[in-house]
Amino acid sequence: MPTSAPPRNRFERRRAETRQALIRAARQILAETGDTSASIQAIAERADVGFGSFYNHFDSKTALFDAAVTDALEEFGQVIDEHVEGIDDPAELVAAGFRLTARMADSHPELMRILRDRGLAHIHSDRGLSPRALRDLERGIASGRFTGTDPTTALSALGGTLLSLVALRLARPDLDGGEAASDLAAMVLRMLGLSSEDAREVTRRPLPGLD
């Protein structure tokens, strides 16, 4: 997930692969234990990368884990983005985001654990899904679809509720995830000023699949 230009030659490709292998290992560790005290040796071994290579890419463990969280949040944003393309109604976008997130608890469990453990501090980040969500909220408020709130407050409430859905899915896999997602999405839409009937209707619209 390089912010810079894509690697052109084999050197750069291999370098990018090593870096990504380290990030992947860090993401696994974050999801499994949430504990960042694993040794660099253990991380390199898990990434199947020579120990010394670590220092070619990161100055410290903290730098690696920060990059791993960013990487995970970016991926989350991209997966959601891809699947809501073509949806215009801001309310429907919110509902789709909730329902897709619930499904990702099954399809991307590692990512969801990181989101649960680290997402809250990034709700107002200028990376990942947040800026796009903020834009959609602003659009909804401007058009009158959403009422009685300002964008910042709405983003907080929306983000917090979305993360609580993630936590609920992970803590209670026995519950029906789709139903929980629709219920929480409907509550958020009510919170954003929609009537109960409108909110309910929006959360029942058909949704494109998630691999």
Partner DNA sequence: ATTATCTATAGATCTATAGATAATGC
Q: Is 63 in the site for a copy of itself (CB under 8 A)?
A: no
Residues composing the chain: 211
Give the separation between CA 74 and CA 64, rounded to whole angstroms: 15
Among 162, 177, 202, 203, binds a copy of itself (CB under 8 A): 162
Q: Is 50 in the site for DNA (CB under 7 A)?
A: yes
Question: How far does Cα 30 stand from its chain's mean position?
Answer: 14
Q: What binding mask, one character per residue, do residues 168-207 give for a copy of itself by CB under 8 A, x or -?
A: x--xx--x----x--xx-xxx-xxxx--x-----------
Integer angstrom CA distances of residue 211 from 8, 25, 205: 29, 23, 19
Q: Which of DNA, a copy of itself, none lies near 184, with the C-beta cut-off 5 to 8 A by kind? A: a copy of itself
Nearer to a copy of itself, 33 or 143 (CB): 33
Give the separation between CA 26 and CA 16, rounded to whole angstroms: 15
Question: How far does Cα 165 stand from its chain's mean position?
Answer: 12
Q: Is 6 in the site for DNA (CB under 7 A)?
A: no
Q: Shortest gap between Cβ of 64 and DNA (angstroms)?
A: 10
Determine how many CB atoms are found less than 10 A away from the CB of residue 4.
7
Give the separation between CA 85 and CA 29, rounded to whole angstroms: 32
Q: Is 127 in the site for a copy of itself (CB under 8 A)?
A: no
Read off φ and ψ for residue 124, nearest 5 degrees.
-105, 25
Q: Is 101 in the site for DNA (CB under 7 A)?
A: no
Q: Which of a copy of itself, DNA, none lies near 56, with the C-beta cut-off 5 to 8 A by kind? A: DNA
Q: 3-class SS at 100? A: helix
Q: Is 33 in the site for DNA (CB under 7 A)?
A: no
Q: Residue 177 gets which letter from DSSP?
A: H
- Interface contacts to a copy of itself, rule CB under 8 A: 35-37, 61-62, 116-117, 119-121, 123-124, 148-150, 152-154, 156-157, 159-168, 171-172, 175, 180, 183-184, 186-188, 190-193, 196
